[in-house]
Amino acid sequence: MSLNQTSPSTARTAGVLVVLPAHKNAADLLLSQEASRYFLQRYFLLTSGLLIIGSILMYFFASTSFMVACYFGMSMPIITSFISFLVTEWAFDQPSPMFVMVAPMSMVIRMFNLLIAFCVGHIILKMNLPGMIVGLLVTYFSYLIIEIAYIHNKGKLLGQ
């Protein structure tokens, strides 16, 4: 087959030959982008909501030490959840066994990150224990819910 001919897995755009993987077509790529957009929208909405509602509640009902510990606890899941999204996004384009290994391992690794953050905050920095626990657990499980929904939706859309 010459470069001027196209097959279902190739397309010519603006004089450039674009080769798509055999298992993906334009509809799959659009569905994949839609699922990724779903996660990013929920991620930024959840981050904004947690920070705004948490800040208002802590301003009226929490001590300064609780507030600092809670923000410290919230920071780790916020950062690791976005990194986990990027890794999972990469894993969707890999063979199925790689994805099956990466998706659960990202959740396990984030749990160990929470444990390390807890140890650093409580043992080394001597932060308020209830504030740190509330910040870590509420934020982690909130992001876990949208991450599971993202993986489920993307897998369902792509037929994986």
Residues lower than pLDDT 70 in the chain: 1-31, 157-160
b or e along 1-37 (b: 16 or more beta carbons within 10 Å of the residue's beta carbon)?
A: eeeeeeeeeeeeeeeeeeeeeeeeeeeeeebbeebbe
- Residue 31 confidence (pLDDT): 65
What per-residue confidence (pLDDT) applies to 86?
Answer: 86
pLDDT in the model for residue 4: 46
User: SS3 of 11, please?
Assistant: strand
Q: What pLDDT, on a 0 to 100 scale, did the predictor assign at position 1?
A: 46
How far is Cα 115 from Cα 85, in angstroms, rounded to an integer? Answer: 20
Q: Name the pTM for this structure.
A: 0.71
